Amino acid sequence: MHPSPLTRRQLLARAGLVGAGALGASILGGCATSTSSTSSSGATAGATGGAAKPITLQSSLSAPPVKSAMEKVVAEFNKLGKGTTTLNTVALETYRVQLPTYLTSANPPDVLTWYAGSVANDYASKGLLLDVSDVWQKMGNYPESLRTLSTDGAGKQIFVPTNYYWWGFFFRKSNFAKWGVQPPRTWSEFLALCETLKGKGIDPIGIGLGDSPWVASIWFDYLNIRINGATYHRELLAGKHSFADAKLKPVFEAWKQALPYFDPKGKAYPFQEATSKLLAGKTGMFLIGTFFAETAPKDVFDDLDFFQFPILDEAVPVAEEAPTDGFFASAKTANVAGAKELLAYLATPEAQATFINNGTGILLPANPEAKINETPLVAKGKAMLAGAKDLTQFFNRDSSDALQTTADTALTRFIDKPGEIDAIQKEWQSAAEKVFKG
């Protein structure tokens, strides 16, 4: 199922610049290599009942800054006497693969981190998510756009968004100054910048696809919304157009122009290592979401900047990717009341401020009343989203986790063999049809 189309006012409300609106999305999470559990003592009185089962919160927020921040949030909840929550943190890429198993198991976790929009609705359509519409009744300060994004095809709210972030070409200001270059606005300026950096012996574009092949999807997403527009892009991911459509040929042709400037070793390591190469000045820029900062030393934050994905067609309304993350609950939770108590707390300004201010800080809260330490970098990201004519999520968030695997296969193959565009498109469509047919 897919959420209803949003008005421009609703979309801008997500960015916090119309009424009391603010878009929500949790940070994607890092790539820790271990699974860990944290539990804080707390009373089980209140809505959960005196002998209610403790709540298990399964989290993909595994990088040290966000893992620690989430532990603080859970500890604060447990002090309220509304129940006891145990936090179980799993490395993101493991979590991504295991999520369908978590949700379909006989004894699933009660509450889980993940993404809003079509990806959550896909799980809801299979009867796997708890109806949390009554939790939303306590979330009156949330904008209608977020309610729409958290609503399934049956009209039930099945998701609680908590914060959001943006994607862009990140770079170190000191390196751009040293190299004597400026951020580009258009695609031709971008390619010229790449040529300049390459001439200086710098790999212009970082890319990290090692155990995170989904990172390639951001290139497809942005090129498609810059060339064909956000509406077409969402329709494509909903199965209303074919991945073999001739309108996608220019997307791949444009991408092909940039491929010679990619870090040639970028397919071999994950985005965390690509981040390290960017910070070390071994690559010039990196198209990535703000979650990359989870592995960056905080003393470099003041030297970070970004520019929006370049414009390819001035006639196409500018859209940006603004992923929305948060939490949903299993339909099979043994403690419905306790799960809803936790979700209600996660929606509060206090919980979101605790998470953001104790994590990387490069996030925006879904709750418009949350007080965060807004840095110039965050303010710039917020302004970029506010100025967009439309907002998309990310490939799997606007479709499903199942469709994401088809993109991973097609797009990594394209990076390897850019001369096989027609064959890749046809095979991608064949794989996508299997997903849409269930």
**Alpha carbons 135 and 370: distance in angstroms, whole number:** 18
pLDDT band at 38 (very low <50, low <70, confident <90, very high): low
pLDDT of residue 24: 32
Report the Cα 148 to chain-centroid distance in Å: 18
End-to-end CA distance of the chain: 13
pLDDT of residue 43: 36
257-272 burial, b for 16+ CB within 10 Å, e for fewer? Answer: ebeebbbeebbebbbb
Beta strands 160-164 and 85-89, pairing class = unpaired
Return the bridge partners of 163, or none.
325, 365
Nearest to 305 by CA among 362, 223, 389: 362
Check whether 102 has a pLDDT greater than 60. yes
Cβ(89)–Cβ(61) below 8 Å: yes
- Structural domains in the chain plus CATH codes: 13-165+322-388 (3.40.190.10), 167-320+400-436 (3.40.190.10)
**Alpha carbons 35 and 218: distance in angstroms, whole number:** 28
Per-residue pLDDT tens over the stretch 49-89: 334 789 999 999 998 999 999 999 999 999 999 999 999 99
Check whether 3 has a pLDDT greater than 50. no
Per-residue pLDDT tens over the stretch 346-385: 999 999 999 999 998 889 999 999 999 999 999 999 999 9
pLDDT band at 140 (very low <50, low <70, confident <90, very high): confident
Cβ(337)–Cβ(48) below 8 Å: yes
pLDDT band at 33 (very low <50, low <70, confident <90, very high): very low
3-state secondary structure (DSSP) of residue 120:
helix
pLDDT of residue 4: 31
DSSP-derived letter for residue 38 is E
Cβ(207)–Cβ(268) below 8 Å: no
Cβ(284)–Cβ(202) below 8 Å: yes
Cβ(356)–Cβ(290) below 8 Å: no
Instruction: Write out the E strands in 72-147.
Output: 85-89, 111-115
pLDDT of residue 297: 84
Count CB atoms within 10 A of the CB of residue 295: 20
Check whether 25 has a pLDDT greater than 70. no
pLDDT band at 151 (very low <50, low <70, confident <90, very high): very high
Check whether 232 has a pLDDT greater than 90. yes
pLDDT of residue 84: 95
pLDDT of residue 117: 87
pLDDT of residue 429: 98
Check whether 277 has a pLDDT greater than 60. yes
Q: What average pLDDT does the chain have?
A: 88
Count CB atoms within 10 A of the CB of residue 254: 18
Check whether 31 has a pLDDT greater than 80. no
Check whether 130 has a pLDDT greater than 60. yes
pLDDT band at 193 (very low <50, low <70, confident <90, very high): very high
Tokens of 208: 């990290």
Beta strands 111-115 and 55-59, pairing class = parallel
Check whether 417 has a pLDDT greater than 90. yes
Weakest mean pLDDT among 99-113, 160-174, 211-225, 282-296: 282-296
pLDDT of residue 29: 32
Cβ(162)–Cβ(325) below 8 Å: yes
The phi, psi pair for 53, rounded to 5°, reads -65, 135
Nearest to 238 by CA among 25, 403, 8, 99: 403
Task: Tell me the average pLDDT across 29-33.
Answer: 30
Cβ(53)–Cβ(111) below 8 Å: no
Look-up: residue for tokens 């039930």? Answer: 156
pTM over 0.85: no
pLDDT band at 298 (very low <50, low <70, confident <90, very high): confident
pLDDT of residue 48: 37
Nearest to 16 by CA among 346, 345, 309, 383: 383
Quote the crossing angle between the two packed helices 421-436 and 249-258, to the nearest 10°: 120
